[in-house]
Amino acid sequence: MKIKHILLVGIISILVYSCGDDGPVSTIDPNFDHAAQSVIDNDSLVKFFKNHYYDLDTDLVKPMEDGKTPLSEDPNLKTQDVVETINGNDIDFKLYAYVRDEGTSPKGNPTVVDSVLVNYSGRKILDTERISPTQFDVNINTWFVLGSGVIRGWTYGMTNFKGGINASVPNGPLTYSGTGKGVLFIPSGLAYRNEGILTGGILPNDILMFYVEMNDIVENTDGDVDGIPSILEDLDGDGKPWNDDTDGDGLPNFADTDDDGDLILTRNEDTMIEDNNPLNDFSDPDNPTLPDYLNPDIRKSKDN
């Protein structure tokens, strides 16, 4: 568990769109029309789905053939409506996930800020007819925290899958059975937008496709190890914990070990009930519904 927590803290990053890259390809244009690009990308994806099908024998997306069901008519292709705030504007996107196998783990689906263990490979969708013949990225048994350090298409898209069952044998490799498998089709606005990245030659406004396999998840991931599951640090309940920053220090609460900025660690503001749960400690009679860990006027610490 200690190793897991060290790993989670080590990979927390609020630079969501720069994970693993070598810098942007283009200079950021603050006047770029992200809403218009979203429409362009979705039109391209809709046409792409009419021209391709999922081959269950090879687990690959292929150009249409007679007798095959196009992705546009395949019930395994799921659509997610996503709203992202860019430069102060709410932009509507459509994200697509082909769920070949949902997965069998009793842990269920991850939240948007859980840690996941995945296998994946990425390709670019070149146009409505073609997929890049080469992979720009591939990894086996790699941990990611979905709410940080990955593109938003992953954050939302991977919630469609469950993990599998650990089938590893002593002294053998890490293996899973009954994993979640499928494909993410990600518009540029939920990937690297109008910037692109040097790694893999991803250009501005490139649409991406990832073959993914969900092996495992950490339920109720506590990314900053403050005693509160990251998903419960979504204070406004909008499903986006990354926009909740109580003390305004630039770190979202789920990545901040001192949420109210009172110099008392959140995990130590557990002084009333002392059950290792800061969520149920209320000491301020003037703010009886505000937990101590979010109240800068209350500076009690169980270490004192």
Decide if 11 is inside a domain. yes
Contact 253, 241 (CB under 8 A): yes
- Amino acid in position 239: G
> What phi and psi, each to the nearest 5 degrees, are found at residue 142?
-115, 135
- Range of 22's domain? 2-218
Residues 90 and 165 in one domain: yes
Q: Are strands 52-55 and 60-63 parallel, antiparallel or unpaired?
A: antiparallel
Decide if 10 is inside a domain. yes
Helix, strand, coil shares, percent, the chain, to 5: 20, 25, 50
Residues 165 and 200 in one domain: yes
Per DSSP, the three-state class of 60 is strand
Angle at 269 between CA 263 and CA 270, to 5 degrees: 165
Nearest to 95, CA basis, from 83, 87, 85: 83
Q: Which helix (H) or strand (E) holds 37?
A: helix 34-50
Decide if 223 is inside a domain. no
Q: Output the domain CATH number for residue 141.
A: 3.10.50.40
Decide if 60 is inside a domain. yes
Whole-model pTM? 0.88
CA distance 261 to 197: 35
Residues 161 and 35 in one domain: yes
Residues 174 and 244 in one domain: no
Residues 93 and 136 in one domain: yes
Residues 61 and 83 in one domain: yes
Residues 298 and 157 in one domain: no
Decide if 232 is inside a domain. yes
Residues 122 and 241 in one domain: no
Tokens of 165: 């069952």
Among 218, 246, 266, which residue terminates a domain?
218
- Amino acid in position 61: V
pLDDT digit string (tens) for the chain, length 304 residues = 333 443 444 433 333 333 434 444 545 678 899 999 999 999 999 999 999 999 999 999 999 999 999 999 999 999 999 999 999 999 999 999 999 999 999 999 999 999 999 999 999 999 999 999 999 999 999 999 999 889 999 999 999 999 999 999 999 999 999 999 999 999 999 999 999 887 778 999 999 999 999 999 999 999 999 999 999 999 999 999 999 999 999 999 999 999 999 999 999 998 888 888 999 999 999 999 999 999 999 998 877 5
Q: Which helix (H) or strand (E) holds 145?
A: strand 137-145
Q: Are strands 165-166 and 60-63 parallel, antiparallel or unpaired?
A: unpaired
Neighbouring C-alpha atoms within 13 Å toward the C-beta of 282: 8
Neighbouring C-alpha atoms within 13 Å toward the C-beta of 51: 12
Decide if 75 is inside a domain. yes
Angle at 85 between CA 25 and CA 123, to 5 degrees: 40
Residues 113 and 52 in one domain: yes
Residues 57 and 163 in one domain: yes
Work out how many domains the chain is built from and give that number: 2
CA distance 51 to 43: 13
Tokens of 159: 């919630």
Residues 180 and 110 in one domain: yes
DSSP structure string for 149-185? SS-HHHHHHGGG----EE---TTS---EES-EEEEEE
Q: Which helix (H) or strand (E) holds 9?
A: helix 2-11
Alpha carbon of residue 303 to chain centroid: 34
Residues 144 and 42 in one domain: yes
Tokens of 101: 């196998």
Contact 224, 12 (CB under 8 A): yes
